A and B are shown apart, each in its own frame.
Chain A
């Protein structure tokens, strides 16, 4: 199970951030996702796999220094 934005999504082997967004049906262009102490940028969403039992945070804005 993966928790994202308060919703529980069933986890499956090889699940990526992009898979997660498709399941959420969320088209917002998030630049970054965070989970497991890592920051993953959008270019990696199709490749970055999500482990089971984590909470994923979708970052909607990167604002610079």
Chain B
């Protein structure tokens, strides 16, 4: 590693405002093209409509871009915010940040949530949100010193390229001996060479003496960051106490926080074991329910899945506190100490790996036909340190593997790589080539949508088959759950605003396992309420995991166990205790509904956000190949006979497949109709004038977008 130099280009002093009831009441705007720094006030109306977090991000982004802005235009903005409850140290899961920008893979608005300390430290430093526009010609570090009240834009030389190293160096550089006061946002070389770059947000792990990383993974936010020439954003803040966020009613906050914290301590060891294995507990459960993606979502289970189950990761994970925010009793950000990669630039060195979580295990493991936990850990490490989204990497490699096995592409196109399912060495080598932007790696690094275009256009692959098996929607790769047998989850993926990410709606168990959503109306109601409540966490700087990954002991006796209403009520009290604005559970839904509909209109403004954009590939709905159908023939045959009253005697598999497809595609369209109606949208998926008026988001510019799309 060479000598690191940071040369000051711009210094901007400011007077840090006191936080009032969870808000700093101002945002930070930095333009890297000319190093301009400005502070914008937050009006009460902005808080009323957009709440904070993702809402603030979207409003800043809306003003920064126009309808023709593309991801790599200078005006595209990286917006980062926490939320009014973000930074509360006593309530579990209160340290989240949300990143938004125009995405390189979807062309529309992307949002990605992430742990780590950056968002809360940014707020305590005086800014509810920040936006970074423009482009720097040389690698730029932005340093926000909330302790001493100044901001610097610095020209960086000699910074290490890998994210772990860069975060460590910058943490030490700015710490002044107190590393816990620092949080760094950075990416890695993969973000420069692909469209699926992620951002790493750091938090300093005092016990282990290292900067740990959490990822804002989805939709290429890291690629936009790299394209702007940003080497890192760094914030410095201390102290963090309950009073730092100035809650309106500290006693109520302490009471409700204690209830939730104690419940987690009591119930998590009896339920999902988040505090010991995190989301890795899901692997064998998903496998048993035929929901774990295997071989590019062809199948939902594999006998070798337990090789990557929670018992294995319980042994691999380093023991100790793993909360990505101070005081979180769920503390699920586990990692592997002294892991030694067998490939790539860190081959043979001991490294600390943050993760893996379920998504990476399923995406880079089972979905690629690989069931080796050590391989998954290595893929996890390199995805993070290269600045690549491990979900998009997994889904993209799985797609390339199926294309290879099906003969749609061959070694002449893959640069000699044997991309058969299960080939660990090739998967790793492909990842390294993606990060370097080399050959076939550069193609895969553009994501599934562009791979389909390239395979069809340049390699003469069958476009219809590519469309069926390429697991993306809106340009975003699917996250790692099988949705074939859950129509509600197909909607959860297809009707999600940014693309098929489960953070909006995860309805598989409700729909498929518990059969609680038997009608279109019930599915539509769930595709209204759950996305809205999940959205609310992103407005407030909160993690959703404490809501429903641990539940009260008596939850099953409540009217709607899936909503975990006891926790929803606690969150309403929490919101009121911080902001001083009393709220009931329905008020939380209303807050989200405003922002959710605004985001849909924003997508429309960018040329998306209509019915046609809510399409999903058939692989997400049903069996594409004869092999898939026949592997679950009893299930599909019985559905045709019992659900659809079809006489299948004498029918061949292909005939049954065609019939099943027609029926399932019809049902998906019927689901869209039901959901659009429940959401107050037109049949084309656009919020109606009455809806935006009811929500109070009928600003002239919103009405203008609706009018341009025929809604008056």
- The interface bits of chain A over 20-31 (1 if a CB of B lies within 8 angstroms of the residue's CB, else 0) are 000000001101
Contact B548 A63 (CB under 8 A): yes
Q: Is A15 an interface residue when CB atoms closer than 8 A count as contact?
A: no
Contact A41 B288 (CB under 8 A): yes
Q: Is B555 an interface residue when CB atoms closer than 8 A count as contact?
A: yes
- The interface bits of chain B over 465-485 (1 if a CB of A lies within 8 angstroms of the residue's CB, else 0) are 000000000000001010000
Contact A63 B514 (CB under 8 A): no
Contact B502 A44 (CB under 8 A): no
- The interface bits of chain B over 522-566 (1 if a CB of A lies within 8 angstroms of the residue's CB, else 0) are 000000000000000000000000001101000110000110100
- Most chain B Cβ neighbours within 10 Å, of A37, A41, A60: A60
How far is it, in angstroms, between the C-alpha of A65 and the C-alpha of B292 when the chains are bound?
13
Q: Is B153 an interface residue when CB atoms closer than 8 A count as contact?
A: no
State which residues 40-65 of A face B: CB under 8 Å. 41-44, 57, 59-65
**Residues of chain A at interface, number, CB under 8 A:** 20
Contact B551 A57 (CB under 8 A): no
Q: Is A39 an interface residue when CB atoms closer than 8 A count as contact?
A: yes
A43 and chain B: residue at smallest CB distance: B288
How far is it, in angstroms, between the C-alpha of A43 and the C-alpha of B284 when the chains are bound?
12
A61 and chain B: residue at smallest CB distance: B551
Given A31-B509, A34-B270, A37-B311; A61-B555 close (CB under 8 Å) = yes
**B residues near A61, Cβ cutoff 8 Å:** 509, 548, 551, 555-556, 561-562, 564
State which residues 272-292 of B face A: CB under 8 Å. 272-273, 279, 281-282, 284-285, 288-289
Q: Is A18 an interface residue when CB atoms closer than 8 A count as contact?
A: no
Given A39-B310, A41-B288, A59-B272; A64-B564 close (CB under 8 Å) = no
How far is it, in angstroms, between the C-alpha of A41 and the C-alpha of B284 when the chains are bound?
9
A29 and chain B: residue at smallest CB distance: B514
How far is it, in angstroms, between the C-alpha of A32 and the C-alpha of B506 when the chains are bound?
17
How far is it, in angstroms, between the C-alpha of A65 and the C-alpha of B357 when the chains are bound?
9
Contact A64 B508 (CB under 8 A): yes
Contact A62 B279 (CB under 8 A): no
Q: Is B666 an interface residue when CB atoms closer than 8 A count as contact?
A: no
| Pick from B285, B358, B359, B551: contact of A39, CB under 8 Å | B285
**A residues near B711, Cβ cutoff 8 Å:** none
Chain B nearest CB, measured from A3 CB (Å): 11
**A residues near B271, Cβ cutoff 8 Å:** 34, 57, 59
User: What total count of A-B pairs have CB within 8 Å?
Assistant: 66
Chain A nearest CB, measured from B505 CB (Å): 9
Contact B555 A41 (CB under 8 A): no
Chain A nearest CB, measured from B172 CB (Å): 33
Contact B506 A63 (CB under 8 A): yes
Q: Is B265 an interface residue when CB atoms closer than 8 A count as contact?
A: no
Contact A28 B556 (CB under 8 A): yes
Given A28-B556, A29-B513, A34-B270; A65-B285 close (CB under 8 Å) = no
B492 and chain A: residue at smallest CB distance: A64
Contact A62 B282 (CB under 8 A): yes
**B residues near A59, Cβ cutoff 8 Å:** 270-272
How far is it, in angstroms, between the C-alpha of A39 and the C-alpha of B358 when the chains are bound?
16
Contact B289 A41 (CB under 8 A): yes
**A residues near B284, Cβ cutoff 8 Å:** 39, 41
Chain B nearest CB, measured from A34 CB (Å): 7
Contact A41 B285 (CB under 8 A): yes
**B residues near A38, Cβ cutoff 8 Å:** 311
B544 and chain A: residue at smallest CB distance: A63
How far is it, in angstroms, between the C-alpha of A62 and the C-alpha of B502 when the chains are bound?
14
How far is it, in angstroms, between the C-alpha of A47 and the C-alpha of B321 when the chains are bound?
36
Contact A60 B311 (CB under 8 A): no
**B residues near A62, Cβ cutoff 8 Å:** 272, 282, 285, 509, 513
- The interface bits of chain B over 672-711 (1 if a CB of A lies within 8 angstroms of the residue's CB, else 0) are 0000000000000000000000000000000000000000
| Pick from A39, A60, A65: contact of B502, CB under 8 Å | A65
How far is it, in angstroms, between the C-alpha of A59 and the C-alpha of B282 when the chains are bound?
13
**A residues near B357, Cβ cutoff 8 Å:** 65
B506 and chain A: residue at smallest CB distance: A64
How far is it, in angstroms, between the C-alpha of A31 and the C-alpha of B510 when the chains are bound?
11
A59 and chain B: residue at smallest CB distance: B271
Contact B289 A65 (CB under 8 A): no
How far is it, in angstroms, between the C-alpha of A39 and the C-alpha of B282 when the chains are bound?
10
**B residues near A57, Cβ cutoff 8 Å:** 270-271
How far is it, in angstroms, between the C-alpha of A44 and the C-alpha of B502 when the chains are bound?
27
**A residues near B272, Cβ cutoff 8 Å:** 59, 62
- The interface bits of chain B over 258-274 (1 if a CB of A lies within 8 angstroms of the residue's CB, else 0) are 00000000000011110
How far is it, in angstroms, between the C-alpha of A64 and the C-alpha of B549 when the chains are bound?
8
B358 and chain A: residue at smallest CB distance: A65
Contact A64 B514 (CB under 8 A): no
How far is it, in angstroms, between the C-alpha of A61 and the C-alpha of B556 when the chains are bound?
8
Between A and B, 24 residue pairs with Cβ closer than 8 Å are A28-B556, A29-B514, A31-B513, A34-B270, A34-B271, A41-B284, A41-B285, A43-B289, A44-B288, A57-B270, A59-B271, A60-B555, A61-B555, A61-B556, A61-B564, A62-B285, A63-B509, A63-B548, A63-B549, A64-B506, A64-B508, A65-B359, A65-B502, A65-B506
Known: A41-B289, A57-B270, A60-B551. 11 other contacts (CB 8 A): A32-B285, A41-B285, A43-B288, A59-B272, A61-B556, A61-B561, A62-B285, A63-B509, A64-B508, A65-B359, A65-B506
Seen from chain B, the residues whose Cβ lies within 8 Å of a Cβ on chain A are 270-273, 279, 281-282, 284-285, 288-289, 310-311, 357-359, 479, 481, 502, 506, 508-509, 513-514, 548-549, 551, 555-556, 561-562, 564
Enumerate the 8 nearest inter-chain pairs by beta-carbon distance, A residue then B residue, closest first. Answer: A64-B506, A41-B288, A60-B556, A63-B548, A57-B270, A65-B279, A28-B556, A65-B358
